[in-house]
Amino acid sequence: MHAKLLDMKDIEISIKDLRAVKNADIALNGITILSGVNSSGKSTISRLLYYAIKYANDYESVVKLQFSKAFNSILNVVEVLDRELRNYLPDQHIAYYFEYFSASNEKERRKVLVNALNAYKDLLDKLSKESTNIQFVSRISHIIQNDVLEKKTDKSISELMSDLIANAQQLFDTEEQMITERAYAPYQAFVENKMRELMPNVVISEYGMPFFGERKVKYLPVLNTVRRIAYIDTPMTVGVLATQPSVEYWKDLYELLREPLIPANTNSEFISKISEKIGGEATYDIDSLNSPLLYKRNDGKVFNLLESATGIKSFSILQILLNNGFIDKNTLLIIDEPEAHLHPQWIVEYARIIVLIHKHIGTKFFIASHSTDFVSAIKYIATKEECLSSLSYYLSEEDAEKPFSYNYRSLGQDIEPIFESFNKSFELIDKYGTDND
């Protein structure tokens, strides 16, 4: 007899006492909608999901940033030696510093640095044996100690270089081992640093196995359900991505939008639906000197997408990500207030595109919304498209005992409590707009 499989959610996030969030247990199985007042923690949850999932999939970056200071010291040594030897012995110049930047991948770059240090050590050994080079060798020794190592030593240049080579090799071996093993502790600390807060009461799981927040876990599991993630907190970011990539997920989104388009894309049906709505097509012109994002209108006119209407930008982001293959069944799109800047009719059209992408491609969505049009459109379109079971709503409600703290209530597919919370705005209109004298 086969054992009955447990009903596990794809992704689950459990939060207690994180900023404005007092309690939240949220599942991501398809289209997850969060609703509630401003400052109730929706953006906190979105950012946490983004960083936790992004770096679970890009664990290599976590490790490399941990070793970045030590690695940069080694790179500085090679740069110093490259510069000084190029001036002193131009005929014997070894251009390892330039070879490093032309290497095709990170592993090759590490190899170039070790080879460079070995080659420079051999050359400096040879130079140190000739009295005419003593002053130059001494200069190199002082530069490495003062500017790179930041400490004094009585070691010869040969000993100094041998130590540097041994340290570099040990650093690269340790780094490679950590990337292979996927040790959990550095990842947890890294994400908490991104959030600027320790999170002892947060756990994020995939199929019931924690991949963030469970400190007893020794190694970080590889994610299966979500391997790509993007965070769209406002279409206005498209206008500043190129000039102000200061917010990490803005910069990441900009890089995603610059990916080459895929000919004969399997997502062409959805790309066409968006084109019909915006009366044209958004694209990335890789041949342009400035490589701008473009909006090509159906009448033949071409506009810089950065200068186009915000509604056009909202749809264009989805269109480009469909067009370059980023959106697939293993993608999670986090969208904050997709209704912002959209006409009510376009809110419904945007909701329809989301439902269709989820139904036919399998993409997951995590969305925060304040719009009655969007909340209801998602439900009724999902009902018609027979994927209502993939939809779940959560409502933030202020805690009765702790002001400015919110509990997230699971509503399933029931949107009435959300509408009841929205109706408070009409009460305020009556209060402030009615003559009660």
Q: So where are the chain's domains? A: 65-181
pLDDT at 215 over 80: no
Q: Is 226 exposed, middle or buried (0-12, 13-18, 19+ CB in 10 A)?
A: buried
pLDDT at 431 over 80: no
Q: Is 338 exposed, middle or buried (0-12, 13-18, 19+ CB in 10 A)?
A: buried
Q: Nearest to residue 41, comparing CAs of 434, 405, 427?
A: 405
Question: Following DSSP, what letter does each residue of 362-396 receive, concatenated?
Answer: --EEEEE---HHHHHHHHHHHHHTT-GGGEEEEEE
Token look-up 């740069």 returns 79
Predicted confidence at residue 435, as pLDDT, reads 62
Measured CA to CA in angstroms, residue 382 lies from 30, 52, 109, 179, 437 at distances of 11, 28, 49, 41, 47
Question: In this predicted model, what pLDDT tens digit does every residue of 25-51 receive, in sequence order?
Answer: 999 999 999 999 999 999 999 999 999
Residue with more model confidence, 115 or 417: 417
pLDDT at 302 over 60: yes
According to DSSP, residue 219 is labeled: B
Question: In this predicted model, what pLDDT tens digit does every residue of 306-337 receive, in sequence order?
Answer: 888 889 999 999 999 999 999 999 999 999 99
pLDDT at 23 over 80: yes
3-state per-residue secondary structure call for 287-334: CCCCCCEEEEECCCCEEEHHHCCHHHHHHHHHHHHHHCCCCCCCEEEE
Q: Nearest to residue 367, comparing CAs of 344, 345, 336, 396?
A: 336
pLDDT at 17 over 60: yes
Q: How confident is the model at residue 60 (pLDDT cuts 50, 70, 90)?
A: very high
How far apart are alpha carbons 104 and 357 in whole angstroms? Answer: 35
Q: Tell me the Ramachandran region of residue 369: left when phi exceeds 0, alpha when psi lies from -120 to 50, beta otherwise.
A: beta
Q: How confident is the model at residue 72 (pLDDT cuts 50, 70, 90)?
A: confident
